[in-house]
């Protein structure tokens, strides 16, 4: 297993539509193990394959309340008109040190395949629902900052310009040092953030 470098905003792989994995999920066992290890190393709550430079439709997740795993070829059904009771301040390992509240559905249904290639069917609310929406966005080339609005969008764009991430991967050694507050999923006391 290995902790992998995470691609940053500006890297085209984050903007590409991912390809379906299909039935042969077993061949990606090593990739999944590395993604879980990478996610854990930064105490993230989710990691999508494009974030480590792989343009395939899978992501790992861990809401720290017992829901942990991988989803291949996810299909997300969003329950319209629902909103999270406790909106999550999102961040993203690919947009370090930027965070914001995105309008998300409060309840979603995720289907796909799990680590063993078996059908996965999870109805989620709360943090897990937000994680699923954030990660599936990644697989379609979207980042959470795309979905910010108004002042929070302006502020995020300003911070992104200021930081000038460039087209480079950030080493997780740096990332660890830079503190977990940027990891969507680095659950801070009283504030849940980032994937
Ligand atoms: Ni993310």
CATH of the domain at 98: 3.90.45.10
Give the model confidence (pLDDT) of 152-191 as tens digits: 999 999 999 888 776 455 555 455 444 333 445 444 333 4
* Cα dihedral 145, 104, 67, 193 in deg (nearest 10): 40
**Segment holding 169, helix H or strand E:** strand 169-170
Q: Residue 80 domain-assigned?
A: yes
- Cβ proximity of 74 and 140 under 8 Å: no
Which structural domain, as residue segments, surrounds residue 122? Answer: 12-192
Catalytic residues: 135
CA 22 – ligand 1 centroid, Å: 23
In a domain, 54, yes or no: yes
Average pLDDT, the chain: 87
Question: Tens digits of per-residue pLDDT, 8-48?
Answer: 999 999 999 999 999 999 999 999 999 999 999 988 999 99
CA–CA distance, 96 with 46 (Å, rounded to integer): 14
Domain count, the chain: 1
* 4 found inside a domain: no
The answer to whether position 5 is within a domain reads no
* 144 alpha carbon – ligand 1 mean position (Å): 7
Which residues, listed in sequence order, are joined to residue 170 by a DSSP beta bridge?
6
Specify if 105 maps to a domain: yes
Q: 65 C-alpha to center of ligand 1: Å? A: 19
């Amino acid at each position: 297993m290995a902790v992998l470098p995470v691609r940053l905003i500006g890297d085209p792989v984050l903007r590409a539509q991912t390809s379906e994995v299909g039935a042969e999920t077993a061949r990606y066992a090593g990739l999944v193990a590395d993604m879980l290890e990478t996610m854990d190393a930064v105490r993230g709550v989710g990691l999508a394959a494009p974030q480590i430079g792989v343009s395939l439709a899978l992501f790992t997740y861990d809401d720290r309340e017992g829901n942990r795993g991988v989803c291949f070829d996810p299909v997300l059904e969003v329950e319209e008109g629902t909103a999270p009771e406790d909106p999550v301040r999102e961040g993203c390992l690919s947009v370090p040190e930027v965070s914001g509240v995105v309008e998300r559905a409060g309840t979603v249904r995720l289907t796909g395949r799990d680590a063993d290639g078996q059908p996965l069917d999870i109805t989620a609310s709360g943090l897990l629902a937000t994680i699923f929406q954030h990660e599936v966005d990644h697989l379609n080339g979207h980042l959470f900052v795309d979905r910010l609005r108004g002042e929070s969008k302006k502020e995020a764009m300003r911070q992104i310009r200021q930081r000038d991430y460039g087209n480079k991967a950030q080493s997780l050694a740096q990332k660890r040092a830079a503190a977990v507050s940027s990891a969507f999923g680095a659950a801070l006391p009283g504030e849940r953030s980032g994937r």
